[in-house]
Chain A
Amino acid sequence: MKNFHVAIIGGGVIGSSIAWELSKYKANIIVFEKGSDVASETSKANSGVIHSGINSPNGSLKARFCVEGNKTFQSISNNLGFPVKWVGKYVIAKNQDEVKELHRLKKVGKKNEVTGLVIIDGDVVNKREPNLTCFQALWVPTAGITLPYEMTIAFAENAAINDINFSLETKVLNLKKKNDTFQIKTNKGSYQSNVLINAAGINCRNIVSMLEEPDFNVYPCRGEYLVLDKKYYNLVNAMIYPIPPKKLGVLGVHITPTIEGNILLGPSAEFIDDSSDKKTTKNMMHKILKEAKEIIPNLTGKDIINAYSGIRCKLVPPEAGGLSDYKIEESKQTPGLINLAGIESPGLTAAPAIAKYVTKMIFKHSEFKKKKNFKTKKFRIKRFSEMPRIKQSKMIKKDNNFGRIICRCEHITEAEVIKALSNPLGAKTISSVKYRCRAGMGRCQGGFCTQHIIRIMKEQFNIDIKDMKLKSPGSNLFYGRNREEEND
C-alpha cells in the first residue's frame, strides 16, 4: 500500500490548484481523478469568467476568496502561462425599475472593496458596445476572462512537474479511517494518507458519505451553453450580463467573449436529479437564444458551432432559492478530512485563494518545509498561429513539425499536438489534445484534424486503435481494424 501525506480527490480547478499550492512543499501527495484528464467536468464547462466580487454578500467565503483570487489572478496567469484578458463587464438595466438592482450590486461590490464600479448611461454604453442598447449599466472593469480548462491544466501540470502524483481514470470506491490514516480503495489499488481533501465537486457528498453521515445536501443545477463561430468576434467587447434572476441563485444568461475569439451564450439554469446528466436540450437552447436576444436583438442563432453543459454544485434546494456560501471545513467527526462543498461560481476566480486557505488548514496537521527546487513551467507561451511569420520560420527550422498544420480551422501544428500528448499528467485522449492546443475546437469540429491526431497517437505514442478515447474511460473511438495489418 502506498502512503501519502495528503490525498486529493478530484482533479478539477479546486483539486488542481490545491495540488499546485502543495507542490511548493516537501510532501508526498497524490490526486485521484476519475476522468481521463483533469478539468473533465464542471471546470471545463463554465463561462471562464474571472469575477470581480459584486455578486456575493460581504463576509461570505465566496466574496472573500473571489476578491482575493481576482487580485492574484494576473500574476498566477503570468507565472503558469494560461491566458487572461481583463475585458470588464456590463450589468445592464433595461428600464428605470432595474436600475435599483445596479445600485444594489454596486453597493455590494464597494463593501467587498471592488474598485472602479460606475453606473453609466445607455448611450455611453452604446458607443462602446454598438450592438447593445440598454437604459443604464453597471461597468465592472475588474472582471475578466480566462480559459478555464487551460487554467486547471496549467495548475495540474505544474504540480506534476513538482512531483505531485496524478492518478487518472481512478475512481475512489471506498474510504475508511483507521487510527490516524485514511484507507483509500480505488479501482487502481489501495492507498493511505494522513489528510484527505475532498475536492470531488458535484460528487463531494458521495465522498463524505463513505466516511460519515453528511450534514448537507447537493442540488445539481445544469447550465447549458452555445458557442458562436469566430466570425462574431466583434459582437461584444466586454461581457454583458442581465440583472441576476434572484430566484435561481445564478447570474442569468449572459454574453461572454472568449479568449479565442468565439462568443459564449449561456448558461441556463435547471435543477436536475442525476448529477452526471450533462446533456443539452432543445428547450434550453431556445431559451438561451431567446434571453441572449433580449440583450442583443440582432443575434441570429446562426453559426452555432458547439453546445455543452456543466453542472453547478448548489447547496440550497430550488424551492429555497437564493445564493448559498461555500462549505470549506474540516470534518469534526473525521479529523483530517477537509471538505470543499458547493464550490460553484465564482469558483474559478476563487480557486487560487481557496488553495492557500486549504493549505493552511492542512498545516494544522503537519507543516511541510518549502522545496528549494520548485519549478515553474509556462503552460502556453504562444501558439504557432499567433506568432509573426519570421518567428514561425525560426520555429520550423528548430522543429520541422511546426511546418505541418493538422487543424485547418485553428492552424494548429503537428509539433503542438505532439507537445500536448507529451503532457506530464499522461492524459492521452482526443479531448486532452483539444484542451491543450485547441486542435478540433474550430468550426469543422475535428473533421480534418481527428485523423491526424489518431495518426500521431499511433506513430509517436504507439497507442492501439482500440484504446483511443474521445474524452473519458469508456469513450473509445473505434472497434479495431477491418482487416489485419500487414506489418503488425
Chain B
Amino acid sequence: MGEIERKKMINQQVDIAVIGGGPAGLIAAVNAKKHGAKNVVIIDRNSWLGGILPQCIHDGFGVEELGESMTGPEYAEKYIEKVKQQNVNIMIETMVLQLNNKREIIAVNKKGIYKIKSKAIILAMGCREKTRWHAMIPGDRPSGIFTAGVAQAFINLYNIMPGKNVVILGSGDVGLIMARRLKFEGANVLGVVEILPYASGLPRNVVQCLDDYEIPIWFNHTITSIKGKERLEKVTITQVDKNMVPINGTERELKCDTLLLSLGLIPENELSKNANIEIDENTGGPIVNQNLETSLDGVYACGNCLQVYDTVDMLSIVSKIAGKNAAKHKKIKKQKNSINFVCGKGVRYVVPQKIDDAGMVNLNLRALKPSEKSILFIKKNGDELLRKKLPWVNPANMITVDMLT
C-alpha cells in the first residue's frame, strides 16, 4: 500500500473484528470478551444492532436458551446491553467491502474508508431471502411482490402496509409468521402455497400462525403464473405431482394484490467467497472445524452465514463457540490429521464439516425429508462411533448430537 493511500484511509488494529451485528455477531463478541479478547469491534451495515430481531415483534425467543419467552427486540436488547457492558466497539452504518486472506478488512462509513487489521475475524453476516427467480416463477413483473422478510420490515419497522389481499408462497417460518401478522393488520390472507407435502417452517408455527386463524395451507401446490401489468392482480396456483411437476388442468386463479415469498434463506458469503474461504455447497456456508474456524486461518464463522438455523436460540448457543475460540486463536494447537464428515443416506448436511482435534463435538445435522423412527449413526473406517435412535426427523427441525472423538 502506497504512502498516500495510507494517509487517506483510516487504519485500525483490533484483536477481533466481528462482521455483522445480528444475534450471532453480538453473542460471539460478548463471548470473545469473556474469554480474554481485549479489543473487539462489531461492524454492521444497518443503523441498529440486532440484525433481523428488531422486526421480529412476535414472541417465543429465548425459550430454549434462556428459559423465558421474549419478543425479538427484547431478546436483541439483552445482548446489546451485554455488548455495551463488555465495552465492545461498535461501528454501525458501516459496510465491509472486502476481506483478504491476511485478516484485513476494508470497510466504509460516512467518516471514510477503513482498513482494519485483526488477529481473528468472526463472520456473522447472516443470510438473505431467496427471490422469485430462485423458483423461476414466470409471468408479469408487477408491484406487490415482496419477500416475506422485506414485508415484515415494512410493517414492523417502517409502519407501512404492503398489501390488502395476500397470498404467501412457501411455508418457511417468516412466511408463516407474516400470515398471522398481516391478518392482525386487517389484511385478507388467502392462504399459503407450499410445493412440498409438508411445511418447511416449524410445526408450532403452522399451528399458531395458520391453524389458529383459519388460514389455509395448500400442500403440493405452487404458483405457475403471475398476472398484473402494474400492480399484482392475480396468481395461478397449480397442484404438483410427486416430482414437483405442475399437473395440467389443476390450475386455479387467486385474485390478490400482494404476493409474499417465503422460499428459504441463503447464507450471505460474498465476502467469504472473495477471500477464497471454502464453502460447503449443501449449507451455503463456510466449511468449518469443531472450533468453527473456516479454511482461512483465524477466520471463524457463526450464525446464519454458517448455516440457516431454525431458531435464534440454537444459533446463539453455537455462536458462543465462535467467540470463545476466536479469543483463544493463537493458543489453539493445529492438528494435521483432520477427519472430514461425508453425508450418508438421508442426511442433507452436517456442521462442522470436519474435526481436527479430539474432544467433545456438538454436531448439527439436517435430514433430507421427514420420516418416522430413524437411526442416526456415524462410522469411521467401519467402526461405529455413534448410534442414536430418533423417533422422527423433519428437515425443518435441526438435529443436534454430541459426539466424543
Q: Is A236 an interface residue (CB 8 A)?
A: no
Report the bound CA distance from A281 to B141 in whole Å: 12
Interface residues in B356-394 (C-beta closer than 8 Å to A): none
Q: Is B90 an interface residue (CB 8 A)?
A: no
Give the nearest-CB partner of A484 in chain B.
B159
How many chain A residues sit at the interface, stated as a range, is 35 or more
Interface residues in A377-395 (C-beta closer than 8 Å to B): 389-390, 392-394
Q: How far is the CB of A285 from chain B (nearest CB, A)?
A: 6
A482 adjacent to B159 (CB under 8 Å): yes
Interface flags for A444-478 (1: CB within 8 Å of B; 0: not) read 11111011001100000000010001111111111
Report the bound CA distance from A478 to B257 in whole Å: 10
Residues of B within 8 A of A450 (CB): 150
Q: Answer whether A480 and B93 are a contact pair too, CB < 8 Å, given A394-B8, A472-B230.
A: no
Residues of A within 8 A of B140 (CB): 278-279
Q: How far is the CB of B382 from chain A (nearest CB, A)?
A: 36
Interface residues in B156-170 (C-beta closer than 8 Å to A): 157-164
Report the bound CA distance from A448 to B111 in whole Å: 22
Q: Is B205 an interface residue (CB 8 A)?
A: no
Report the bound CA distance from A396 to B114 in whole Å: 12
Report the bound CA distance from A445 to B93 in whole Å: 21
Q: Is A306 an interface residue (CB 8 A)?
A: yes
Give the nearest-CB partner of A307 in chain B.
B133
Residue of B97, B112, B131, B157 near A444 (CB, 8 A) is B131
A454 adjacent to B158 (CB under 8 Å): yes
Q: How far is the CB of B47 from chain A (nearest CB, A)?
A: 9
Give the nearest-CB partner of A229 in chain B.
B133
Residues of A within 8 A of B227 (CB): 279
Residues of A within 8 A of B136 (CB): 282, 285, 304, 307
B138 adjacent to A483 (CB under 8 Å): no
Residues of B within 8 A of A279 (CB): 138-140, 225-227
Interface flags for A122-138 (1: CB within 8 Å of B; 0: not) read 00000000000000000
How many chain B residues sit at the interface, stated as a range, is 35 or more
Residues of B within 8 A of A319 (CB): none
Task: Identify the interface centre among A400, A401, A471, A477: most chain B CB within 10 Å of its CB.
Answer: A477
Residues of A within 8 A of B229 (CB): 276, 278, 472, 474
Report the bound CA distance from A278 to B227 in whole Å: 10
Q: Is A305 an interface residue (CB 8 A)?
A: yes
A482 adjacent to B108 (CB under 8 Å): no
Q: Answer whether A481 and B159 are a contact pair too, CB < 8 Å, given A281-B138, A305-B133.
A: yes
Q: Is A404 an interface residue (CB 8 A)?
A: yes
A404 adjacent to B139 (CB under 8 Å): no
Residue of A276, A282, A478 near B138 (CB, 8 A) is A282
Residues of B within 8 A of A282 (CB): 136, 138, 224
Q: Is B399 an interface residue (CB 8 A)?
A: no
B113 adjacent to A473 (CB under 8 Å): no
Report the bound CA distance from A448 to B4 in whole Å: 34
Residue of A285, A411, A451, A473 near B153 (CB, 8 A) is A451
A390 adjacent to B230 (CB under 8 Å): no
Residues of A within 8 A of B147 (CB): 447
Q: Is B128 an interface residue (CB 8 A)?
A: yes
A390 adjacent to B138 (CB under 8 Å): no
Residues of A within 8 A of B138 (CB): 279-282, 285, 307
Residues of B within 8 A of A307 (CB): 133, 136, 138
A445 adjacent to B131 (CB under 8 Å): yes
Interface residues in B92-116 (C-beta closer than 8 Å to A): 93, 95, 97, 106, 108-113
Q: Is A317 an interface residue (CB 8 A)?
A: no
Q: Is A308 an interface residue (CB 8 A)?
A: yes
Report the bound CA distance from A307 to B139 in whole Å: 10
Q: How far is the CB of A416 from chain B (nearest CB, A)?
A: 13
Q: Is A403 an interface residue (CB 8 A)?
A: yes
Residue of B112, B158, B226 near A403 (CB, 8 A) is B112
Residue of B108, B149, B157, B160 near A447 (CB, 8 A) is B149
Residue of B93, B106, B142, B158 near A470 (CB, 8 A) is B142
Q: Is B57 an interface residue (CB 8 A)?
A: no
Report the bound CA distance from A473 to B230 in whole Å: 7
A482 adjacent to B185 (CB under 8 Å): yes
Q: Answer whether A400 and B143 are a contact pair too, CB < 8 Å, given A408-B45, A472-B230, A478-B161.
A: no
Report the bound CA distance from A408 to B20 in whole Å: 13
Residues of A within 8 A of B157 (CB): 451
Report the bound CA distance from A200 to B224 in whole Å: 32
Q: Answer whether A471 and B143 are a contact pair too, CB < 8 Å, given A478-B154, A482-B185.
A: yes
Interface residues in A396-429 (C-beta closer than 8 Å to B): 396-397, 400-401, 403-405, 408-409, 411
A411 adjacent to B95 (CB under 8 Å): yes
Residues of B within 8 A of A394 (CB): 8
A393 adjacent to B8 (CB under 8 Å): yes
Interface flags for B107-136 (1: CB within 8 Å of A; 0: not) read 011111100000000000000110111001
Residues of A within 8 A of B110 (CB): 396, 400-401, 403-404
Q: How far is the CB of B190 from chain A (nearest CB, A)?
A: 16
Interface flags for A79-118 (1: CB within 8 Å of B; 0: not) read 0000000000000000000000000000000000000000
Instruction: Return the 10 tightest CB-CB contacts between A and B, nearest first.
Output: A474-B230, A470-B143, A403-B110, A405-B95, A400-B110, A393-B8, A475-B143, A475-B230, A479-B161, A280-B138
Q: What are 20 A-B contacts with C-beta separation under 8 Å? A: A279-B225, A279-B227, A393-B9, A393-B112, A396-B111, A401-B110, A403-B108, A403-B111, A404-B109, A409-B270, A451-B157, A465-B160, A469-B143, A474-B229, A475-B230, A476-B143, A476-B231, A477-B144, A478-B154, A478-B160
Given contacts A281-B138, A403-B108, A404-B93, 9 further A-B contacts (CB under 8 A): A279-B227, A282-B136, A390-B4, A392-B113, A393-B112, A445-B131, A447-B147, A477-B143, A481-B160
Q: Which residues of A contact B (CB under 8 A)?
A: 276, 278-282, 285, 304-308, 389-390, 392-394, 396-397, 400-401, 403-405, 408-409, 411, 444-448, 450-451, 454-455, 465, 469-483, 485
